[in-house]
Amino acid sequence: MPESTIAETADAGLEAEAGPAGVAAEAVRQALAHVLESEELRSSPQLSNILRFVVEATLDGRSEAIKGYTIAVEALGRDASFDPQADPIVRVEATRLRRALERYYAGAGAGDEIEIVVPRGSYVPQFLRRGAAVSVPGAEPGPEADAAIAEEPPAAIPAGGPASPARRPPPVAVARHGAGWRAAVLGLAVLAVLVVLAGLAIEGGDPVGWRALLSGAAWQPIQRANRLGIPMIEVRDFDSTGGIPLPPSELASSAGAVSSGDFTAQAIEVRVRDALARFDLLDVLASPDARPALRCSAEGTSPHSVFALGGLVENHDDGSISVLLRLSDLCDGTIVWSREFDSLRRGGDASASEVALVRDIMAAIAEPYGIIQSRARARVTAAGGPEAAGPYGCVLTAYSYWRSYVPAEHDAARACLEKAVAADSTFALGYALLAELYLDEVRAGANPQPGPPALARALTAAEQAVELAPTSAYARRVLMDVHFFRGERAATIAAGEAALELNPYDVDVLADFGGRLVALGEIARGEAMLAKAAQAAPGMPPWVDYHRVVAAYLKGDGPAAAAAADQLMGEGYAPGLLARALASHLVGEDEAARADVRKLVALAPAWVSEPDVMIRHFFPDPAIARKVRADLAAVGLPLRNSAAAAN
């Protein structure tokens, strides 16, 4: 095609894309309503308020007023003293809003006639028809937009990659006449042809050779930055052996795997990979190409850890399956854990059996007390301690405190995480851990701070964690704990159910939710969850034993309460002292109960200054609170003898 024809065709296409000079305000408001009703925005009041504000301001001809300060004050409810230079909340929320819009238009909003775009570097929205850009007077980015470009953290690449169709660049003014324009169009046309040919070759030819050609260098694995220092794990293909070959009709979809009739190695591998990805303390690599450069030395002084999990599924003639797993440390090349599971059999509920198997696997390797975190913690210690491990070092300090309940470690973990979230306001796990540490100022009496109440700070941090990571089961579990200690029954149960749905393999979520249900009066349901968690992971943290003691105490089962209380031998765990005192009183050992009450009030003085408030924090159900109050009074807890206090 002659150059002039190419240019004319491109000109015609540009005319079509430019579209009308504007869009009716009613049409834009209708498009806005669709977005606000979507799943991506409906659960986030902050994002909805920002989008509604910037769209309405633009339609009202006030786009020059759309700045970080006005968004913070008018959309987010900040007071007039808000400083956009000191507080990055608007930039953070704008980044989240862009991602939410991308997800919406890539899914439920794919058929919308008008797309609302908030381009990077500006808070002023643009309204795009499908294939046409619509300009709004006054919508050009101003000086504040330039500052936003410089200051705003880079947005994460969508799952579909940088070429995702939902991510459109803002309209760009292009010179339409002259040789420079025509040459540019010709160059773009040639480049497009090359890209198409390269794509075809990659699909059917030698991908490594073509990738090298397109990149100008030999193909290298992705150098993935481990920003938080969290352990990484790669799940390798599971092998299969023995058993009965699949029928020909199933071979195509199962890649020739063999099966006992209900399960394949591929199915178990996929489920294990999916389960690992649900744990916040792990980064699961999509493929070996995503493995970062291993910064390990012969002395093992790198604080970073990368693991590989492989498996073998053995199908036996009697229909049973054995799953053999091995976990390797890629930094030193050693196998650090291996185990055989033989819990699957032909028949029955295959899905339930797979879930049970995977939950057992997760309890062994993925939980905070599992093999991966234990190994990673040892590597960090050898590399110089938590200070050398970045944000992950703060995480380890927090979990170290929850093993010992030493107040100094609580103070160190809280300070470390507060500094980490100040430096990175997108650190969702950091906010969630902070919420739990703030709760410990109440439930364990650990280093209470002046200023805003601990429960208010905990709620703010937990809600921020959920906003930043809406699919995080851990964030929802923390929100459940906060609602529980605030006495909010319905919100507690809703958050617990959401956490369990997001990660049904996390036995910590299962046990914690079960314990909360027990204290809310749903004893049978909660105790069943605790039993299931204990079966999957026998050696769980002391807070699980606390829940077991409370469950037995509320049922009046003295021997079970005493047996569970024997596991709570630590003197620094305030809830454990509370549970031991109740269990001892139940079996008639009041002298031991009085000793534990004395230790409890020494650790957490609020049990003396506000005993009824503390009882309500731990036992929100009024009937249960009255029973606990009477028993604690019987073993020496000083209480105000008034009807108002008792009620």
pLDDT tens digits, residue range 532-560? Answer: 888 877 677 888 899 999 999 999 999 99
| pLDDT score of 240 | 84
- More confidently predicted of 531 and 537: 531
Which whole-number Å values give the CA distances from 411 to 380, 387, 414, 534, 577, in the listed order? 20, 15, 5, 30, 21
Separation CA 583–CA 594 (nearest Å): 12
Q: Determine the 3-state secondary structure of 266 from DSSP.
A: helix
pLDDT band at 356 (very low <50, low <70, confident <90, very high): confident
The amino acid occupying position 271 is R
The amino acid occupying position 50 is I
Mean pLDDT of the 247-269 span: 54
DSSP string, 37-60: TSHHHHT-HHHHHHHHHHHHHHHT
Q: What is the DSSP letter of 121?
A: T
Lowest mean pLDDT, pick from 7-21, 141-155, 354-368, 552-566: 7-21
| pLDDT score of 530 | 93
Chain center to CA of 404: 25
- Tally the C-alpha atoms within 13 A of residue 36's C-alpha that lie toward its C-beta: 15
Among 375, 379, 315, CA closest to 344: 315
Contact assessment for residue 492 and residue 519, using Cβ atoms and an 8 Å cutoff = no
Two structure tokens written together for 442: 């109440």
Q: At what angle do helices 473-485 and 454-468 cross, to 10 degrees?
A: 160
Lowest mean pLDDT, pick from 145-154, 443-452, 481-490: 145-154
Q: Which residues are bridge partners to 309 per DSSP?
A: 235, 327
- More confidently predicted of 38 and 458: 458
pLDDT band at 135 (very low <50, low <70, confident <90, very high): very low
Separation CA 365–CA 372 (nearest Å): 6
| pLDDT score of 137 | 40
- More confidently predicted of 214 and 469: 469
| pLDDT score of 13 | 34
Q: Give the pLDDT confidence of 169-198 residue by residue, as tens digits.
A: 333 333 333 444 444 445 555 455 444 444
Separation CA 102–CA 120 (nearest Å): 13
- More confidently predicted of 251 and 302: 302
pLDDT reading at 382 higher than 80: yes
| pLDDT score of 609 | 93
Max avg pLDDT among 156-165, 234-243, 332-341, 503-512:
503-512
Separation CA 259–CA 244 (nearest Å): 6
| pLDDT score of 471 | 92
Separation CA 587–CA 598 (nearest Å): 19
pLDDT band at 246 (very low <50, low <70, confident <90, very high): very low
- More confidently predicted of 32 and 211: 32
What Rg value do the Cα atoms of the chain yield, rounded?
A: 29
Q: Determine the 3-state secondary structure of 176 from DSSP.
A: coil
What end-to-end distance do the CA atoms of the chain give, in Å? 88
- Tell me the percentage of the chain whose pLDDT exceeds 70: 72
Lowest mean pLDDT, pick from 66-70, 164-168, 515-519: 164-168
pLDDT reading at 524 higher than 90: yes
| pLDDT score of 556 | 95
pLDDT band at 628 (very low <50, low <70, confident <90, very high): very high
Work out the mean pLDDT of the chain and round it to a whole number: 77
Which whole-number Å values give the CA distances from 506 to 40, 247, 280, in the listed order? 25, 35, 11
pLDDT band at 313 (very low <50, low <70, confident <90, very high): confident
Contacts of 414 (CB under 8 A, 6+ apart): 434, 437, 438, 447
Two structure tokens written together for 250: 């199933």
Contacts of 539 (CB under 8 A, 6+ apart): 369
Which whole-number Å values give the CA distances from 259 to 254, 268, 320, 343, 360, in the listed order? 10, 11, 10, 15, 21
- More confidently predicted of 336 and 535: 336
Contact assessment for residue 409 and residue 436, using Cβ atoms and an 8 Å cutoff = no
pLDDT reading at 104 higher than 70: yes
Q: Give the pLDDT confidence of 51-97 residue by residue, as tens digits.
A: 999 999 999 888 888 988 899 888 887 777 777 776 778 887 888 89
Q: Determine the 3-state secondary structure of 130 from DSSP.
A: coil
Two structure tokens written together for 453: 């109440």
Mean pLDDT of the 29-47 span: 85
Q: Which helix (H) or strand (E) holds 337?
A: strand 334-345
pLDDT reading at 223 higher than 80: no
Contact assessment for residue 25 and residue 59, using Cβ atoms and an 8 Å cutoff = yes
| pLDDT score of 270 | 87
Q: Determine the 3-state secondary structure of 23 from DSSP.
A: coil
Max avg pLDDT among 161-170, 252-261, 332-341:
332-341
* SS3 labels along 505-545: CCHHHHHHHHHHHHHCCCHHHHHHHHHHHHHHCCCCCHHHH
Q: Which residues are bridge partners to 345 per DSSP?
A: 320
Separation CA 467–CA 96 (nearest Å): 9
Which whole-number Å values give the CA distances from 511 to 47, 126, 143, 517, 548, in the listed order? 33, 48, 52, 10, 9
169 Rama sector, left if φ>0, alpha if ψ -120 to 50, beta otherwise = beta
Lowest mean pLDDT, pick from 148-152, 208-212, 319-323: 208-212
Separation CA 54–CA 250 (nearest Å): 53
Q: What is the DSSP letter of 292?
A: P
Among 470, 503, 472, CA closest to 275: 503
Q: Which helix (H) or strand (E) holds 307?
A: strand 306-315
Q: Give the pLDDT confidence of 314-325 residue by residue, as tens digits.
A: 877 777 788 899
Q: Determine the 3-state secondary structure of 441 from DSSP.
A: helix
Two structure tokens written together for 412: 């160190």
- Give the ranges where 444-589 is alpha helix by DSSP (H): 454-468, 473-485, 489-502, 507-519, 523-536, 542-555, 558-565, 574-586
Two structure tokens written together for 188: 């773009």
Which whole-number Å values give the CA distances from 372 to 208, 365, 379, 412, in the listed order? 33, 6, 11, 23
Lowest mean pLDDT, pick from 284-298, 441-455, 480-494: 284-298
Residue 547 neighbours by CB distance under 10 Å? 27
Q: Which residues are bridge partners to 337 per DSSP?
A: 327
Which whole-number Å values give the CA distances from 284 to 268, 313, 531, in the listed order? 16, 21, 29
Q: Give the pLDDT confidence of 584-622 residue by residue, as tens digits.
A: 999 999 999 999 999 999 999 999 999 999 999 999 999
Two structure tokens written together for 339: 């185990």
Environment class of 201 (CB within 10 Å of its CB; exposed 0-12, middle 13-18, buried 19+): middle
| pLDDT score of 74 | 87
Lowest mean pLDDT, pick from 100-109, 247-256, 380-389, 522-531: 247-256
Q: Give the pLDDT confidence of 392-450 residue by residue, as tens digits.
A: 999 999 999 998 899 999 999 999 999 999 999 999 999 999 999 999 999 999 999 98
Sequence-ordered strand ranges (E) for 119-267 = 126-129, 132-134, 232-235, 239-242, 244-245, 258-259
| pLDDT score of 157 | 28
Contacts of 111 (CB under 8 A, 6+ apart): none
